[in-house]
């Protein structure tokens, strides 16, 4: 079954951002993935379609009620099972609540989700959702980062977009996703395009040389250097993985790291002069 996202949201219109634009739109048109939005107001119990109420214990804001959300999730599961039965598959899906209190989203999690049959994405609003709904229905909480968004929709859109670009056939150039940041544990190298000189800043000469081997080596060195400088914790993880693995650091990687360290020492010496 293709990657499928069922999104429980008060704002289904926001998902036009992935259905109507760019790579995700093209991938949708190619039937590489599917999306359906489910508005919990359709499972509200009163004529006003209320889905939120004041928090017990007092305090500011409103809380999304468990009932409409649970009924919406059940309806999605029923529809998933019915659809899967047509192709003799199990249809129940994992439920992911986008939440600032969840585990931070990583490339590894995105890649795993992209290779699965997808998930039900629950988008909170207001102060969040009733904790009992999380206890009863949510399998996993994922966070976009240590900051608070007004709603889970932007986080769900980011998750969907990141997954869809991993799908074979989604990008025009298959290689580009494989060379992105995080795929091999490092940040991507810098990129340049025309003109060759922009505001007195030239493109690094090696990129104009046409020498593929030198270009590849320069790019790897840039990735190593950037990751080491900008994301020391990511770099330490990459080094540890190399040390744990059977292959260790390649000769080339070790040589490039020595060059980077030497450059750094020379830079420090120049500053001290």
Ligand X SMILES: C[S@@+](CC[C@H](N)C(=O)[O-])C[C@H]1O[C@@H](n2cnc3c(N)ncnc32)[C@H](O)[C@@H]1O
Distance from C-alpha of 151 to C-alpha of 40, rounded to nearest angstrom: 14
127 is catalytic: yes
- 95-123: b or e for each residue (b if 16 or more CB lie within 10 Å)? bbbbbbebeebeeebbbebbeebbbbbbb
Per CB under 6 A, does 12 bind ligand X? no
Per CB under 6 A, does 128 bind ligand X? yes
Distance from C-alpha of 184 to C-alpha of 178, rounded to nearest angstrom: 8
Candidate list 127, 140, 141, 253, residue with the active-site label: 127
Q: Are 158 and 121 in contact (CB under 8 A)?
A: no
Task: Output the smallest distance, CB 182 to ligand X, in A.
Answer: 18
- In the complex with ligand X, the residue whose CB is nearer, 120 or 256, is 120
Of the residues 13, 58, 87, 147, which one makes contact with ligand X according to CB under 6 A: 147
* Residue with smallest beta-carbon separation from ligand X: 124
Per CB under 6 A, does 68 bind ligand X? no
Binding segment (CB under 6 A) for ligand X, from list 26-34, 82-90, 121-129, 259-267? 121-129
Distance from C-alpha of 28 to C-alpha of 244, rounded to nearest angstrom: 39
Distance from C-alpha of 257 to C-alpha of 261, rounded to nearest angstrom: 6
Task: Output the smallest distance, CB 144 to ligand X, in A.
Answer: 4
- In the complex with ligand X, the residue whose CB is nearer, 37 or 171, is 37
Candidate list 4, 80, 165, 228, residue with the active-site label: 165
Distance from C-alpha of 252 to C-alpha of 105, rounded to nearest angstrom: 31
Q: Are 163 and 7 in contact (CB under 8 A)?
A: no
- In the complex with ligand X, the residue whose CB is nearer, 8 or 28, is 8
Kindly list the residues in this chain that would bind ligand X in the complex (CB under 6 A): 98-101, 123-125, 127-129, 143-145, 147-152, 155
Active site residues per annotation: 100, 127, 165, 180
């Amino acid at each position: 079954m293709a990657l499928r996202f069922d999104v429980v949201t008060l704002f289904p219109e926001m998902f036009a951002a992935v259905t109507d634009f760019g790579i995700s739109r093209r991938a949708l048109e190619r039937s590489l993935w599917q999306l359906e939005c489910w508005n919990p107001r359709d499972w509200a119990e009163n004529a006003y379609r209320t889905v939120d109420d004041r928090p017990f214990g007092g305090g500011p804001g409103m809380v999304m009620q468990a009932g409409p959300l649970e009924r919406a999730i059940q309806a999605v599961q029923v529809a998933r099972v019915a659809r899967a039965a047509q192709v003799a598959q199990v249809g129940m899906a994992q439920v992911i609540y986008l939440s600032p209190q969840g585990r931070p989203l990583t490339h590894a999690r995105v890649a795993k989700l992209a290779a699965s049959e997808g998930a039900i994405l629950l988008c909170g609003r207001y102060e969040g959702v009733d904790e009992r709904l999380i206890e009863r229905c949510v399998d996993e909480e994922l966070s976009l980062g240590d900051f608070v968004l007004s709603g889970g929709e932007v986080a769900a859109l980011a998750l969907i977009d990141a997954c869809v670009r991993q799908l074979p056939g989604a990008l025009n150039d298959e290689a580009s996703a494989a060379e992105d940041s995080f795929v091999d544990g490092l940040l991507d190298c810098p990129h340049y395009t025309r003109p060759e000189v922009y505001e007195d800043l030239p493109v690094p000469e090696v990129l104009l040389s046409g020498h593929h081997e030198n270009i590849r080596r320069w790019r790897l060195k840039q990735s190593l250097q950037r990751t080491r400088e900008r994301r020391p914790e990511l770099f330490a993880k990459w080094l540890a993985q190399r040390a744990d693995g059977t292959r260790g650091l390649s000769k080339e990687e070790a040589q490039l790291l020595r060059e980077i360290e030497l450059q750094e020492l020379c830079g420090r010496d120049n500053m001290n002069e």
